[in-house]
């Protein structure tokens, strides 16, 4: 069943201690869509500028992603530039240019408002709210956000959270949003804001799924080398909702399918940091996906 994602399509310039890559395909919607496309059909909503390479659009299409919701506007594609530290976790943002994203107003192609699965990727909560208000008969709504929106647009974010089934954040964001240091208390506070389930991403330490009566901790797969961790969280989101869409899950499904989705999400996301841009995700085939899933289960079950 179809997943609708609204998010950024971007050009990233990434520096690591050993390499620098310019203007490579990035953005939450790009990573998410490619990751989710392994499981389900994906409809992408976003905007790119007139500098956006046709080859990048073709790449998305080649993964079966419906790009009818990606508007081509006059101006420059949203761009982000960052430098990773030696540990490949800490990073400094060197530049952010909103470009065509500054005036982006999401428009859904005809029929897309009936998409059963909705991923509101990490963008301004008013845009997330705008898209969500157009959706009819959704089975599951997942929202990702970041420190910037929690700090600067808290009211809008809290408002849209009321209609969200699952919140996807990292641990510092969960603490910032809830005002609680303990993640179990943070999850309780956030649940009162609307989302029934909370996924807390912890990078190399894995991820936690808080359901009403249970918690699942999934470790990250330990990679011999991290080349570029950009987009791993968005890839995780793609694998997560992708699994749920493939299973036909909805907000009333048992915890089990959500727990299994965490495993799929981790297996998919583990490919992302192995290469720059979306190259790691593109290198994933059925063998590597299944083998990562097996590795992960072996890491989890004592």
Rounded to 10°, the helix 125-134/154-161 angle is: 30
Toward its own copies, which CB reaches closer, 93 or 224?
224
φ and ψ at residue 301, rounded to 5 degrees: -95, 115
Toward its own copies, which CB reaches closer, 10 or 265?
265
* Residue closest to 14 by CA, chosen among 27, 4, 2, 3: 27
Q: How far is the CB of 76 from its own copies (least distance, A)?
A: 35
Q: How far is the CB of 273 from its own copies (least distance, A)?
A: 11
* Cβ atoms of 11 and 97 closer than 8 Å: no
In angstroms, the Cα distances linking 233 to 1, 23, 121, 155, 273 are 22, 20, 10, 24, 10
- Indicate the SS3 state at residue 236: helix
Q: How far is the CB of 156 from its own copies (least distance, A)?
A: 28
Task: Give the separation between CA 210 and CA 105, rounded to whole angstroms.
Answer: 33
Q: Which residue has the tokens 């943002």?
A: 93
Toward its own copies, which CB reaches closer, 126 or 182?
182
Q: How far is the CB of 263 from its own copies (least distance, A)?
A: 5
Q: How far is the CB of 239 from its own copies (least distance, A)?
A: 14
Q: How far is the CB of 93 from its own copies (least distance, A)?
A: 22
Q: How far is the CB of 111 from its own copies (least distance, A)?
A: 35
Toward its own copies, which CB reaches closer, 183 or 241?
183
Instruction: Give the single-character DSSP code of 272.
Output: G
Q: How far is the CB of 228 from its own copies (least distance, A)?
A: 14
Toward its own copies, which CB reaches closer, 23 or 180?
180
Toward its own copies, which CB reaches closer, 148 or 297?
297
In sequence order, the 6+-apart residues with CB closer than 8 A to the CB of 27 are 7, 8, 9, 10, 12, 46, 78
* Cβ atoms of 227 and 251 closer than 8 Å: no
User: Could you tell me the two tokens for 227?
Assistant: 């080349």
Q: Dihedral, CA atoms, 184, 188, 194, 196, nearest 10 degrees?
A: 60
The footprint of its own copies (CB under 8 A) covers: 86-88, 181-185, 202, 205-206, 208, 214-219, 222-226, 259-260, 262-263, 297-302
Toward its own copies, which CB reaches closer, 95 or 224?
224
* Residue closest to 203 by CA, chosen among 295, 84, 119, 98: 84
Toward its own copies, which CB reaches closer, 50 or 87?
87
Q: Which residues pair with 34 in a beta bridge?
A: none
The Cα angle at residue 50 between residues 46 and 56, in degrees rounded to 5: 65
| Count of CA atoms in the C-beta half-sphere (13 A) of 86 | 0
């Amino acid at each position: 069943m179809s997943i609708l994602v609204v998010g950024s399509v971007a050009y990233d310039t990434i520096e690591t201690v050993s390499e620098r890559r310019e203007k490579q395909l990035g953005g939450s919607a790009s990573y998410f869509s490619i990751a989710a496309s392994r499981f389900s059909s994906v409809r992408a909503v976003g905007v790119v500028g007139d500098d956006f390479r046709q080859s990048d659009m073709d790449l998305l299409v080649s993964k079966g992603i419906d790009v009818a919701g990606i508007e081509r506007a006059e101006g420059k594609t949203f761009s982000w530039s960052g430098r990773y530290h030696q540990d490949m976790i800490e990073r400094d943002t060197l530049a952010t240019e909103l470009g065509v994203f500054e005036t982006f107003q999401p428009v859904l192609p005809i029929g897309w408002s009936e998409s059963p699965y909705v991923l509101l990727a990490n963008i301004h909560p008013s845009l997330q709210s705008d898209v969500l208000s157009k959706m009819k008969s959704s089975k599951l709504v997942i929202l990702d956000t970041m420190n910037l929106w929690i700090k600067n647009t808290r009211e809008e974010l809290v408002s849209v959270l009321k209609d969200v089934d699952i919140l996807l954040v990292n641990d510092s964001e969960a603490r910032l949003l809830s005002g609680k240091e303990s993640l179990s208390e943070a999850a309780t506070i956030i649940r009162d804001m609307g989302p029934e389930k909370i996924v807390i991403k912890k990078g190399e330490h894995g991820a936690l799924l808080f359901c009403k009566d249970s918690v699942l901790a999934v470790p990250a797969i330990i990679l011999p080398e991290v080349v570029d961790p950009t987009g791993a969280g968005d890839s995780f989101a793609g694998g997560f909702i992708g699994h749920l869409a493939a299973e036909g899950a909805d907000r009333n499904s048992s915890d089990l399918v959500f727990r299994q989705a965490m495993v799929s999400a981790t297996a998919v996301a583990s490919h992302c940091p192995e290469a720059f841009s979306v190259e790691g995700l593109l290198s994933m085939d059925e063998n590597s996906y299944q083998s990562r899933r097996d590795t992960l289960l072996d890491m989890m079950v004592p």
